[in-house]
Structure 1
Amino acid sequence: MDKKGSLFSIGRTARLFRLSVSSLRHYEAIGLVRPAWTDPASGYRYYSLAQFEVLNTIRYLRTLDMPMEQIRSFLENRDPAWMEGHLRQQQKEVRRRIRELELAEGKITSRLEQLQEARKGTKGVITLTESPALRLVWVRESLAMPQGNELEGPIRRLEQEQPEALVFLGKVGLGITADHLLAGKFTQYDGLFLQLDPADRYAGEILELPSQPCVRLLFQGSHQEAPEQYQKLLAFLTEKELQPVGFSREVALIDAGLSGNPEEYVTEIRIPVE
């Protein structure tokens, strides 16, 4: 407390409420709160405990993202019923944001797992493994070997058809059908796919794939090096007397979007088999 007895200077008031002095002056300018007393000689502003209650209310309402105009309306016409309605609306908004953040966290976690596997996983070794159940959007579209951002066109078209935005972090891939794999046609893709996270809502046909055995190969390189890798995979299938039972799933785990060094590119190929 300063020389003015029970009054607090604007600087001290700002510190108590963790505000800037300019914010307090702005609140005064738009009519939210006025100083209890202004020194006529110096122009210094002073606040009393009565203004503290108002400032605390303003701070609370700002945490709810309430616009200044609504805050002023509330302070001029305080109404518990209005406040209850606004709090219920804000509660819905907070829950919506929580769902969005949880979805974003799941995508980030999945992407981190992909990157860790891409950087630390064994390259060039074919393994027989169990692929988890998946939800995919399979887009049958003949695609030549991509040289750059050719996948962006069809992906953007798919997104525009959706009622809400979808974000695919490392979940976009290319596929070759089983018939073409057996025929050795490795330079032309039969479609692309989007792997949906559990919480993704997609307006359209979704392909539900059960958990199934597949052969897997992680290799250093991009889609341009994939044909040679498919030859290795087909030779492995022949040796192990395995048959492809669906389209391949080829995903660039590290590409030009993540690294400017082609030597760091890593791609994964999975082929479901029986």
Structure 2
Amino acid sequence: MTEKVQQETGKRGLLTVGEMARLFHMNIRTLRYYDQLGILKPEYVNPETKYRYYSTNQFERMNTIKYLRALDVPLEKIASFFNEKDVNTMLSIFADQRERVLEKQRQLIQIERKLTNRMEQIQAALSAPYGQVTVKQLPQRELVLLEKDFTLADDLELLIRDLSRDHRLDEAIFLGKVGVSISQQDLEKNQIKRFSSIFLVLEAEDNFAESDGALPAASYATVQYQGTHQAAAPYYRLLLDYLAARGLKMTGDSVEITIIDWGMTNDSNKFVTELQIPFIAPKMLKF
């Protein structure tokens, strides 16, 4: 600080921008931004040097700003408060901010559930007994789907884009939840070279109200294997043989979901796909 500035600030009892910033443990750029917004303008600006100075009279205003910012109140609302400084205005700001906080809490809870679901799914896939048929009792699963005949020769990514566009879906909800189906009729004929639909399994946390249908709650013969859709054929035959050998009646289309693929890893040895076929078991049959 030059001697001239020291004399000027001492005489007026003013603080430079740097001194004000140090006193309130903040960045000089933040003070300049507050000045631009009009929520904390300097007490005095030297007309010759354009240096800005603050006074102790502004400390209360600064404390209010820091308090509201600690509550994550937007700067626009802080500016609005100073334009109409009143207890009711402050109460309104608090009420609005509480709603914002509660909404963030709801969003964070949903994110935590989605993370937990995905982690459990991936961990189960990494430790699965590959190539071994397992019977699972699965709950009803809501879907959005695109009913269309296609084969592996078609570009699945383009079909996924069609599904996304038709339903105005958020791309962030796709990872690990896109599946394809082979119709029950084709499975019964042992025809496993074409698909009848592509779908997205919806979770409650996706906040998507309009589903196209649902996979029913049922018993499913399932198998997980290391590979993607291209490697599915022998595992379909494994499931069909399993059902036939036990006299189990197929009750719907297959479910084929790649749990781990290029979206998660560059190591193709860690790719995991699961096949599921719903069935009805004789009442006395035990697993």
Q: Work out whether 1:215 is the aligned partner of 2:221.
A: yes
Equivalent in the alignment of 1:81? 88
Give matches, 1:12-31, under 5 Å: 13-31=20-38
Partner deviation per Cα, 1:219-258 (whole Å, 9 max, x = no partner) = 0110011122111111111112212111111110111222
**Count of equivalent residues:** 268
**Alignment CA distance shift 1:15-1:273 (3 Å):** farther
Provide the TM-score with structure 2 as the length reference.
Answer: 0.79
Q: How high is the TM-score relative to the length of structure 1?
A: 0.82
Q: In structure 2, what is the Cα distance between the partners aligned to 1:159 and 1:4?
A: 67
Bigger proportion of residues as helix: 2
1:87-118 deviation line (CA, Å, top 9, x unaligned): 33333333333322222222222111121122
Partner residue, 1:130? 137
For residue 183 of structure 1, what is the aligned residue in structure 2? 189
Cα deviation digits, residues 66-85 of structure 1 (max 9, x gap)? 244x4334224302223333
Give 1 or 2 for the bigger CA radius of gyration: 2
For residues 245-260 of structure 1, what are the structure 2 equivalents within 5 Å? Answer: 245-260=251-266
Q: How far apart in 1 are the matches of 2:224 and 2:22? A: 57
Task: Select the residue among 265, 268, 274 that pairs with 2:274.
Answer: 268
CA 1:72 to 1:150, structure 2 compared with 1: closer, same or farther past 3 Å? closer
* More off after superposition, 57-66 vs 235-244: 57-66
1:106 matched residue in structure 2: 113
Listed as ranges, the matches of 1:1-274 within 5 Å are 10-11=17-18, 13-35=20-42, 45=53, 47-48=55-56, 50-62=57-69, 63-68=71-76, 70-145=77-152, 149-160=157-168, 167-199=173-205, 200-207=207-214, 209-210=216-217, 212-274=218-280
Which is further off, 83-92 or 221-230? Answer: 83-92
Q: Any runs of at least 4 consecutive aligned residues in structure 1 with deviations exceeding 3 A, and if so which? A: 3-13, 15-18, 28-31, 34-47, 60-65
Q: 1:165 to 1:236 in 2, by over 3 A?
A: closer
Q: Structure 1 stretch 228-237 or stretch 147-156: which is displaced more? A: 147-156
Q: CA shift at 1:131, angstroms?
A: 1.9
Counterpart AA for 1:132: P
RMSD: 3.1
Q: Would the aligned equivalents of 2:134 and 2:223 in 1 still touch at CA under 8 Å?
A: yes
Long gaps (5+) in structure 2: 1-8, 281-287
| Structure 1 residue runs without a partner (length 5+) | none
Distance in structure 2 (CA, Å) of the matches to 1:17 and 1:118? 52
Q: Return the alpha-carbon distance in structure 1 between the equivalents of residues 15 and 279 of structure 2.
A: 77
SS of structure 1 residue aligned to 2:220:
strand
Partners of 1:121 and 1:101 lie apart in 2 by: 30
